[in-house]
Structure 1
Amino acid sequence: MPSDIEVRRLDANEAAASIPALADVLIDCVEGGASVSFMAPLARETALAFWQHVADGVAANERILLVAEDAQRRIVGTVQIVTAQPENQPHRADVAKMLVLQEVRKKGIGARLMHAVDTHAQQAGKTVLVLDTVTGGDAERLYARAGWQRAGTVPDYALMPDGQFCATTFYYKQLDPARRPPQALTV
């Protein structure tokens, strides 16, 4: 694991200032074949608009944005924790857009980002996390090693950036299984 990588949470101002660098990461991942909601070629304007939406969500306290930076403070990876959930799910968060630049993959950056997800989600009072990923992709091994449980697979759920159908596997992780909402009384 590279010791010169720092994973940190961005505040609203940092998120807004990081939009161009985050767009670079997203474009790199889509060009590399990642099925992360976008088709290839991904226009820079589309990537910038997506990250503006994310920055707005950070400012509204609806999501947590984590980044991995190298020694030159260049963003080489990112992940989000979507904390804004329906009224009956205040304990849950979605993990979204776990992205690592192609040139620095397989160096433990994804694992460090996922460890930070656990920490920041717990600090936000979240006890159940949910995510989805391309079935059979490298990320599945990462999530399994990080303690995520496979919930199931949906065939032809999404498209790869080249337009081919792909299956999606859903995962969940319980951060504090002892913390459960009160059970309804039975009469």
Structure 2
Amino acid sequence: MEELSELLIQVVEDGASIGFLPPMELADAMDYWEDVLTPEVILFVAKRNNRIIGSIQLHLCSKQNGMHRAEIAKLMTHPHYRRNGIGRQLMEKAENRAAREGRTLIVLDTREGDDSNNLYNSLGYIQAGKIPGYAKSANGEMSATIFYYKRIEESI
């Protein structure tokens, strides 16, 4: 939990739009991790030298009309390890697990303009729409979020 919390703090401090604003306290990060892990949430981590340097969550929809879908959440790569394919590998692991769980649709959202948009596009995600003023940044600026989806029954 402590390593996950440290990762969360690092990416938030670096400006990631994942629901939190800096400065982030260790206690808040620990509380987040204690509350988020449920049977419907599958967590993947990337490690280097026995340290967690990345993570991603796959949220399995448990609603009767949504058992075919999952959501990608909180893709994080430590700032010192970005641009090394870690995010891509985590996305591929999550997609493969979603397929094994019988999920045929994956959805996600990300802040407009972030590098993650390039990653999602390169992985075949399709932009479904954009909501302006969706998330507040540390400087108080409001940013749009872009929603993406991918059908995986044909691609995995």
If the TM-score is normalised by the length of the shorter chain, which range does it land in?
over 0.9
How many percent identity over aligned positions? Answer: 37
Match of 1:64 in 2: 42
2:138 maps to 1:161: yes
Structure 1 stretch displaced more, 111-120 or 155-164: 155-164
Residue type of the alignment partner of 2:99:
Q
Instruction: Give 1:162 deviation, angstroms.
Output: 3.3
Match of 1:13 in 2: none
Question: Match for 2:4 among 8, 18, 22?
Answer: 22
Question: Match for 2:18 among 33, 36, 44?
Answer: 36
Two-structure CA RMSD over aligned residues (Å): 1.3
Q: TM-score under structure 2 normalisation? A: 0.95
Residue type of the alignment partner of 1:100:
T
Count of aligned residue pairs for this structure pair: 155
Instruction: Give 1:43 deviation, angstroms.
Output: 1.2
How far apart, CA to CA, are the structure 2 residues paired with 1:79 and 1:44?
19
2:55 maps to 1:78: yes
Larger Rg: 1
Match of 1:46 in 2: 28
Q: Which runs of 4+ in 1 moved over 6 A?
A: none
How far apart, CA to CA, are the structure 1 residues paired with 2:3 and 2:113?
28
The higher relative CO (CA closer than 8 Å, separation ≥ 6) is in 1
3-state SS of the aligned residue for 1:67?
A: strand
Match of 1:4 in 2: none
Instruction: Give 1:164 deviation, angstroms.
Output: 1.8
Instruction: Give 1:20 deviation, angstroms.
Output: 0.7
- Would the aligned equivalents of 1:151 and 1:170 in 2 still touch at CA under 8 Å? yes
Greater share of strand: 2
3-state SS of the aligned residue for 1:28?
A: helix
How far apart, CA to CA, are the structure 2 residues paired with 1:34 and 1:85?
28
Instruction: Give 1:84 deviation, angstroms.
Output: 3.4
Instruction: Give 1:54 deviation, angstroms.
Output: 2.2
Q: TM-score under structure 1 normalisation? A: 0.80
Gaps of 5+ in 1: 1-18, 179-187
- Would the aligned equivalents of 1:39 and 1:162 in 2 still touch at CA under 8 Å? no
